Amino acid sequence: MPDKKTFSFVLWVLAIALILILVYLLYPKLEEPFVELELKEEAVEKLFSEELVQFLNDNFEVIEKQGDIADSPEEFLNKKKGGEIDFAVYLASQLKTEGLQVVVMRYLYERDQRQGINTVVVFADRDAPKYIYLEQGKIKMTAHGKSFEDLYQLEEARLGVTITGVAVFEPDILNLKVEQWEKRY
């Protein structure tokens, strides 16, 4: 009969051998699905923002809505319609779910001595920084350059306005009331 030290040593050797055999048998099976999943995710991410915009344009109605409180993404999906901030919060939540860096931006603008507020979704897409906005009842998306200043200049040219203040919100915020605008100039 072997002594306790020999018996313990044999048990350790058997345990290590069993672990090595399991790792050898399981490792190739684990590696392959992860590689395949990464490739599929990369393909989906390249098209996700464009497909999301198209889906909303085809299936949802843009309505006039006053106020600063957005519907939750679930409410928005159930209603299949919403105002500018409802679309923005829904889009931002979906882009965030896909792992993209995203914010909801509201900006204060002046035109002909009158003020207004617009809401856009700004995100880092795979190929370029982009933003999503509403125009004539449709959702549009475009690249905006490398800075917020580039985005402001595009919006000013598109709408014929001067942007005077900006506020940025995380994607899952429903109350988009601006307490204090960050001055642009």
Report all structural domains of the chain as residue ranges with CATH numbers, in order of start. 1-185 (3.10.620)
Using the predicted structure, report yes or no on whether residue 43 has a pLDDT greater than 50: no
Report the side by side order of strands in the sheet with 114-124.
138-143, 129-135, 114-124, 102-111, 162-169, 182-183
- The contacts of residue 98 (CB under 8 Å, 6+ apart) are 44, 45, 48
Looking at the DSSP bridge assignments, the partners of residue 139 are 134
- 66 φ, ψ (degrees, to nearest 5): -90, 160
The pLDDT score that the predictor gives to residue 16 is 66
Selected residue with higher pLDDT from 55 and 45: 55
d(CA 61, CA 56): 8
Q: What is the mean pLDDT of residues 155-169?
A: 96
Any alpha helices (H) in the chain, and if so which ranges?
A: 4-59, 73-79, 84-97, 148-159
Number of Cβ atoms within 10 Å of the Cβ of 171: 22
The pLDDT value recorded for residue 33 is 37
**Residue 49 — very low, low, confident or very high, per pLDDT cuts 50/70/90?**
confident
Express each pLDDT in 2-25 by its tens digit: 676 666 665 655 656 556 565 555
Distance in angstroms (rounded) separating the CA atoms of residues 107 and 94: 22
Question: What would the pLDDT profile of 82-113 be if each residue is shown by its tens digit?
Answer: 999 999 999 999 999 888 899 999 999 999 99
